[in-house]
Structure 1
Amino acid sequence: MHMTTNPQNLILVTGATGTTGRRVAERLAARGVPTRSGSRNGRPPFDWADESTWPAVLDGVTAAYLVYYPDIVAPGAVETVERFARLAVRSGCRRLVLLSGRGEEAAQRAEQVVMDSGAEWTIVRSAFFAQNFSEKGFEDFIRAGVVALPAPEVGEPFVDADDIADVVTAALTEDGHTGQLYEVTGPRLMTFAEATAEIGAATGRDLEYHRITEAEFIAGLVAQGIPEETATVFAEIFGTVLDGRNAYLTNGVERALGRPPRDFTEYARDAAATGVWHA
């Protein structure tokens, strides 16, 4: 029996306004699945950093998608996810799907606490989102014509957020995904310089890629109004996961969905058509 046949199901989507959460919420709505938006502006509001918001948002929930903000490797994330997962199970939530990151020790500890929570679990361990270039701040670089990041010349299998959302939605609503760890990547390795060139081709523009230091990157984010602590977390991700440890492809999308992942070229073409990168 698919969970979706049961009208008593209520699915919580944390990070519901974010890159993957928004897409998961849209897919659940399209399937007619009752969904609660877990965000600071939600009703009831939800905040990872404010545990007093947790009981109300979990009330009546049977499954939940866990996206930790600002990132699963941020200080304190593992302990927070553990407390939330345990409360979820005590509150009657049977199924947990966690968004995790590749090659990160803290992320793997977070995966383990979800596995140990007593819930039916699925882990979606993700490569860098292709959508970082159009929805996560990198779009400002592209509009300006110069992408400046602290990323070394290492291949990364950028994964499309639509593929992630399809895997998560399947895990939340269908049987057969419990106890699965899906490591999801795109179909090929690309450096950030190559990805920038692909976007240039899709937009018909000459884009430059410059490697900068982590300190320069942090300073740039802080200038945009991002808190220094959060900016440092993002900078450290470049320093760890792009040292070559993740320069390989996996078949998580295919295992979960029975189809290959979308290619970066397709992503770049579709994003360019929206006008997001117009100077």
Structure 2
Amino acid sequence: MTPTDVTRTDTTSTGETVLVIGGTGKTGRRTVARLRELGVETRSASRSGDTLFDWADRTTWRPALDGADAVYLVPLDTSPSPTPAFVEQAVAAGVRRLVLLSARGVDVPGYFGSSYEDGGPHAEGEKAVRSSGAAWTILRPGWFAQNFSEGVFLDGIRAGELALPAGEGSAAFVDADDIAAVAVAALTEDGHDGEVYELSGPRALGIADVLDEIAKVTGTRAAYVPVEESVFRAGLVAQGLSEEEAVLWTDAMRPIRTSQEAPVTDGVRRALGRPPRDIADFVRDAATEGAWN
């Protein structure tokens, strides 16, 4: 953790408790770790976390919320979204601050193709926190760098060939560590209420460029193979995904192919007072942790 990541407000002095929904996920577990390093009373909530939480089982919601003062909310990416109902319960339970993980492009018509009209479940979640009556902050990250190390791209990289419908497009992939740092700042500092942080990395790269960065560190390069959307979608179905899930994943790739994810945004700098982490920093750390072994 860099000095600029250390928050200015000591929440332990007020005895506040933070609930992290999705506490075992990419951004959630990093947020939990940072909060606990700061001495903040933190609950990691998920189906496998230390606090039981299941989006599909609403009986788990209220016990998880009991006594929580602030919530980092990683939503369920389905429509209709359960986020509005959860937000209503959270405020009724006494939660005073909500930090929502949304998505880049939620306010851009057609950003994700036909899958998410009018912003889909992320737009529903944003509307809910804005009208909740609680203090709120919205995070809109683009594609995570960690998809190459612990996400949907990892198996292809390990197999030596990453086939995606991304064409020659590019994206300013954002490090999940930066997303977590912004989440912690919004949960524990003053000055973030009512802010919408568009989060990206410091430069745009194509899929092949990221694979080059990985090769520089690991010595092994996976090949990038551009494929048609229909081929990619059929492959996902063959792997066991439903047709609906396959369409969602395929449409999610579209902003990379069209380079809508390429523009660099200022959210990390505005929230933390420093530039975002570069893809080279991410690759170095992920390699040290054995991501591509």
1:119 corresponding residue in structure 2: 134
2:27 corresponding residue in structure 1: 20
Conserved? CA contact 2:45–2:64, under 8 Å: yes
**Matches of 2:161 and 2:49, distance apart in 1:** 36
The TM-score with structure 2 as length reference comes to 0.86
The alpha carbon displacement at 1:239 in A equals 2.7
Among 20, 32, 35, the residue aligned to 2:42: 35
2:267 corresponding residue in structure 1: 252
2:201 corresponding residue in structure 1: 186
- Identity value in percent: 50
Any residues of structure 2 matched to 1:153-192 within 5 Å, and which?
153-192=168-207
Conserved? CA contact 1:3–1:9, under 8 Å: no
Partner AA of 1:172 in structure 2: L
**Matches of 1:3 and 1:232, distance apart in 2:** 44
Conserved? CA contact 1:147–1:196, under 8 Å: no
Conserved? CA contact 2:171–2:260, under 8 Å: no
Instruction: Say if 1:6 and 1:215 are closer, same or farther in 2 by CA, change over 3 A.
Output: farther
Gaps of 5+ in 2: 1-7, 107-118
Partner AA of 2:194 in structure 1: G
The alpha carbon displacement at 1:31 in A equals 1.0
**Matches of 2:57 and 2:251, distance apart in 1:** 25
What are the superposed Cα offsets for residues 133-173 of structure 1, whole Å, 9 maximum, x if unpaired?
00113121111111111223222110111111100011111
**Matches of 1:15 and 1:155, distance apart in 2:** 28
**Matches of 1:58 and 1:273, distance apart in 2:** 36
**Matches of 2:237 and 2:59, distance apart in 1:** 29
**Matches of 2:50 and 2:275, distance apart in 1:** 37
Partner AA of 1:244 in structure 2: S
Any residues of structure 2 matched to 1:161-240 within 5 Å, and which?
161-222=176-237, 224=239, 226=241, 229-240=244-255
Any residues of structure 2 matched to 1:23-172 within 5 Å, and which?
23-69=30-76, 71=77, 74-77=78-81, 80-104=82-106, 105-106=119-120, 107-172=122-187
Q: What SS class does the counterpart of residue 149 from structure 2 fall into?
A: helix
The alpha carbon displacement at 1:267 in A equals 1.0
Instruction: Say if 1:178 and 1:240 are closer, same or farther in 2 by CA, change over 3 A.
Output: same
RMSD: 2.0
Instruction: Say if 1:269 and 1:3 are closer, same or farther in 2 by CA, change over 3 A.
Output: closer
The alpha carbon displacement at 1:81 in A equals 0.8
**Matches of 2:30 and 2:209, distance apart in 1:** 26
